[in-house]
Amino acid sequence: MKYKVFVTREIPDEGIKMLKKASNVKLEVYEHDKKIPRAELKRRVKGADIILSILTEKMDAEIMNAAGPQLKMIANYAVGFNNIDIKEAKLRGITVTNAPNEQGAESVAEHTVALMFALAKRIVETDKFTRAGKYKSWGPQLLLGTDLWGKTVGIIGSGQIGSGVVHRLHNGFNMKVVYTDIKRNPELEKETNAKYHSLAQVLKQSDFVSLHVPLLPSTRHLIGAKQLKMMKKTAFLINTARGPVVDEKALVRSLMRGEIAGAGLDVYECEPLIDCDPNDNLDLRTLQNVVLTPHTASATLETRQAMSRIAAQNILAFVRGKIPPNKVK
């Protein structure tokens, strides 16, 4: 049998080359590096046995119906899979895979630390200041920031990415580590002297709070008005996980009131919109003390090629009758 595989957007080529070599795969790629319009997606998935999806494409009952009853697998080109209706896929016996990879965890950990530095050292703000010709004289109090050295980092979610952040900050910057998770991480505790606490305690003690949890019903708005009030006035919040983990409007209010010092965000509640409601005057982009990146924490060539290979490996295992290595349970 030949499996028709539809790829919903151009991706880095290594996985594509692997799929092209497989004799039982008939590959079709949406041939643009832009989001496929929904109507075109519905048309193009028709007859597909396997969809290689991007996290911007909602893989719901409508798409599964559009593909047809022969649809057997959805291979996501992402670590997260909150774009896929897992329940619906299970009901239909469709195998779902994601693309977790060590390289990606390192990329996101690096980006998280970069956001911390950008905030603490006011990099974006001072760059704008310098370019605008405002630097007239050195001053002892000019654009004071804060150091990371010796401070406390609070990690919410101690998986690969959270642990990667901790190792960098503990080993490189002598930071104390507090963390919370659904279960303890003895290895992390042993290696970095990380202390396990409740979410409230982590929020209260940390100078930098970094989020590394998947988006689940239990983590939606994990950080809201109440949690933000628990943080130190001098603390920074970093989110490189998923936007809806933070109640974004509550965050804007908290930043405006000076309840926390700043935020570094790579993900947004109504992504790709940066502001869910343009009519309420609560727009992150109006604030000086935020640094915003467009969901690029894993955007390195190394990682995006690794994701391409992993998505292909999952598909190749499936078409060879094996259990794909990253099957979502």
CB of 100 to ligand DGY, least distance (A): 8
Q: Read out DSSP for 119-177?
A: HHTTHHHHHHHHHTT---S--TTTT-----TT-EEEEE--SHHHHHHHHHHHHHH--EE
Q: Contact region for ligand DGY (CB under 6 A) — 76-84, 230-238, 246-254, 276-284?
A: 76-84
Angle at 98 between CA 113 and CA 111, to 5 degrees: 10
CB of 303 to ligand DGY, least distance (A): 7
Strand ranges inside 222-303, DSSP E: 236-239, 262-265, 290-292
Q: Contact region for ligand DGY (CB under 6 A) — 75-83, 149-157, 177-185, 314-322?
A: 75-83
Q: Is 78 in the site for ligand DGY (CB under 6 A)?
A: yes
Pick out residues in 110-149 that bind ligand DGY (CB under 6 A).
none
Residue 37 DSSP one-character state: P
By CB under 6 A, the count of residues binding ligand DGY is 5
CA 212 – CA 240 distance, rounded (Å): 7
Judged by CB under 6 A, the residue of 50, 67, 79, 177 near ligand DGY is 79
Does the annotation mark 221 as catalytic?
Answer: no
Nearer to ligand DGY, 238 or 282 (CB): 238
Q: Is 80 in the site for ligand DGY (CB under 6 A)?
A: yes
Q: Is 152 in the site for ligand DGY (CB under 6 A)?
A: no
Pick out residues in 28-57 that bind ligand DGY (CB under 6 A).
55
In Å, how far are 128, 144, 286, 288 from 133, measured between CA atoms?
9, 18, 21, 18
Pick out residues in 247-306 that bind ligand DGY (CB under 6 A).
298
Nearer to ligand DGY, 78 or 96 (CB): 78
Task: Answer yes or no: are the C-beta atoms of 271 and 243 closer than 8 Å.
Answer: yes
* Angle of helix 301-319 versus helix 102-120 axis, rounded to 10: 150
Q: Contact region for ligand DGY (CB under 6 A) — 29-37, 39-47, 74-82, 132-140?
A: 74-82
Q: Which of 122, 168, 242, 304 does the annotation list as catalytic?
A: 242
Q: Cβ contacts of residue 107 below 8 Å, gap of 6+? A: 297, 298, 299, 300, 302, 303
CA 256 – CA 229 distance, rounded (Å): 13
Q: Is 210 in the site for ligand DGY (CB under 6 A)?
A: no
CB of 82 to ligand DGY, least distance (A): 8
If DSSP codes are grouped into helix, strand and coil, which group holds residue 302?
helix
- Phi-psi map region of 48: left, alpha, beta (phi>0 left; psi -120 to 50 alpha): beta
CA 164 – CA 191 distance, rounded (Å): 12
Number of C-beta neighbours around residue 58 at 10 A: 14
Q: Is 239 in the site for ligand DGY (CB under 6 A)?
A: no
Q: Contact region for ligand DGY (CB under 6 A) — 72-80, 201-209, 229-237, 319-327?
A: 72-80
Nearer to ligand DGY, 278 or 294 (CB): 294
Q: Which of 88, 110, 271, 302 does the annotation list as catalytic?
A: 271
| Type of residue at 75 | A
CB of 273 to ligand DGY, least distance (A): 17
CB of 288 to ligand DGY, least distance (A): 26
Pick out residues in 157-176 that bind ligand DGY (CB under 6 A).
none
Best CA proximity match to 58, nearest among 34, 86, 84 = 84
Does the annotation mark 242 as catalytic?
Answer: yes
Catalytically active residues, by annotation:
242, 271, 295
The residues that touch ligand DGY, with contacts defined as CB under 6 A, are 55, 78-80, 298
